[in-house]
Chain A
Amino acid sequence: MKALELEEISVYYGPVRGVENVTLDVEEGEIVALLGANGAGKSTLLKAISGIIHQKQGIIKFFGEDFHRMSPHRRVVGGLVHVPEGRRIFTALTIGENLELGAYGTKTGRVERSERLSEVLAMFPFLKEHFKRLAGTLSGGEQQVLAIARAMMSNPKVLMIDEPSLGLDPQKIDIVYDLLQEVAAIGTTVLLVEQNVKLALEIAARAYVLQQGSVVLSGVSSSLINDPRLSDAYLGKAADGDH
């Protein structure tokens, strides 16, 4: 079953093109990477899928269901969660409060929420130790871990995550990527946005490469990793920036 299907999605910021005619799909249980240089439209695409910006045209289907008119908070209830670029944890709230809010959309009762909390804390022991600490006091890597844990609180079918390695040192990146693999191992479908190609292709089964808002390349990771067109997609953007 397809978890996500995008057909000819276009998003504009006024006259500025965010993405144009993007078609892609993600199979249930898969890790799929969305690659591309800075400004290629990766974040825009995730925002359109979670509904925090409006697409100009195209169809987004979530497990076969058209998401078009559904407000973004309802999409979360449906099982689609988006960890945005820059993590966006609530710094003035405690770690525990951040986690509780992760389950807000599920509309479950107090008992179920606390059961879910124990499950997630078992996956993220670090957060359990610092449950009452203000989230703003965490380091960047710790905040990324919290952002993933918070997303998992809603027991999502699909997790979309935007540049989880951004600003982290290699050791922290390893921790975060191990976590993502754990998340996928329990059956969560993952749509992973990355600029770091090598990193993403290590865990993703397939990838789409965006350049200036359009998909220029796609395929299974093992064949993409040696494809010269992949580096072209990055360099092309850089060369484009020269004029």
Chain B
Amino acid sequence: MSLLLNELGNGIFLGAFFGLIALGYSMVYGILRLINFAHGDFFMVAAFVSYTVLGAVMVGHSHTHWFTVVWVGLLVMVLTGGLATLANQLVYRPMRRAAILSMMIAAIGLSQVLENGVLVTPGWGATYLVYPVTTPPSGFYVGSNHFTWGQLIIVVISGLLGLGVYLLVGRTLLGKAMRAVSEDQTAAVLMGINVDLVIAIVFFIGGALAGAAAVMTGVYYGQINYLMGFTVGLEAFTAAVLGGIGNIGGAVIGGLILGIVQSIGTGLFGAEWAIVVAFAALVLMLWFRPTGILGERVARRM
């Protein structure tokens, strides 16, 4: 029982990361039907940028100023959002009329460019880098299970960001425009919607969420690597499909379910089985519900 509670807690924690990154996959898919394979690498680049910025502002400080971490986090969110938007403008937008497969190949190419770009950047490179800030081990007990305050705060921040996106898409005029573009771009143009701008904003939001996830990953796990975007990207993509890709709520639910399943699975089989467990869950899920948990609408359109 206590072990299960522990896995559940860790699963929710892990799921918060997956959910944040899955949102970016899902929103871009929803609006362009594009699986943006470079999305995990936006997350990775964000981790490196935040590593450098935090390292610079922390110089001379013996202990961590969390206020500084927060504003660096916000800055990195904006920068990563900008990176994703730039990638859209330079790579995907010129291909708007191309076959979707060509766009996906371009996405893989972009992913390679970002990974190798980080690899050859002086001061970054191939080795694991130690993140300049880490969360303290202090925390609280639920029964006999210890969770850190850092974990709790990360889950809360992720939850708030997810809620923010949910409200934006569900309630605001911009969100309605996003859903309109997602369903019928031509009809959206006829409403006076600047479709290119809406698509750019979707990329920005997805990138910003990946940026937030990157800073929290660095702070929590304490180390970063230029290939980190690949694994996490794969897992977040799995989460998005699990939940029903194209669906905002689905990305969050898929993230949580994947986090919990993976946490329990690695508890049983060992950490090296993480990806296997993730894909097994995906295959099983798609067997019973090919559209993912909340994915009906998208599937109906396809």
Contact = CB atoms under 8 A, between A and B. Distances in A.
Contacts of A90: 179-180, 183-184, 187
Most chain B C-beta atoms within 10 Å of own C-beta, residue among A72, A77, A106: A72
Find the residue from A52, A102, A104, A106 having the highest chain B CB count within 10 A.
A104
Contacts of A100: 173, 176
Interface stretch (B38-46, B150-158, B189-197, B274-282): B189-197
Contacts of B195: 73
Contact of A88 (B179, B190, B192, B193): B190
A101 B192 CA distance: 9
B131 to A, nearest CB: 41
A140 interface: no
B72 interface: no
A88 B180 contact: no
B177 interface: yes
B297 interface: yes
A72 B183 contact: no
Nearest to B170: A97
Contacts of B184: 88, 90
B190 A104 contact: no
B180 A93 contact: yes
B183, B192, B194 pick with most chain A CB within 10 angstroms: B192
B145 interface: no
A104 B177 contact: yes
A84 B297 contact: no
Contacts of A83: 190
A146 B180 CA distance: 15
A101 B193 contact: yes
Contacts of A104: 173, 177, 191-193
Interface in B171-186: 173, 176-177, 179-180, 182-184, 186
Contacts of A81: 190
A106 B191 CA distance: 9
Interface of A: 50, 52, 71-74, 76-77, 81-84, 88-93, 97, 100-102, 104-106, 150, 154
17 contacts: A52-B190, A72-B189, A73-B194, A73-B195, A74-B192, A77-B192, A83-B190, A84-B186, A84-B190, A88-B187, A89-B187, A90-B184, A92-B297, A100-B173, A101-B173, A104-B177, A105-B192
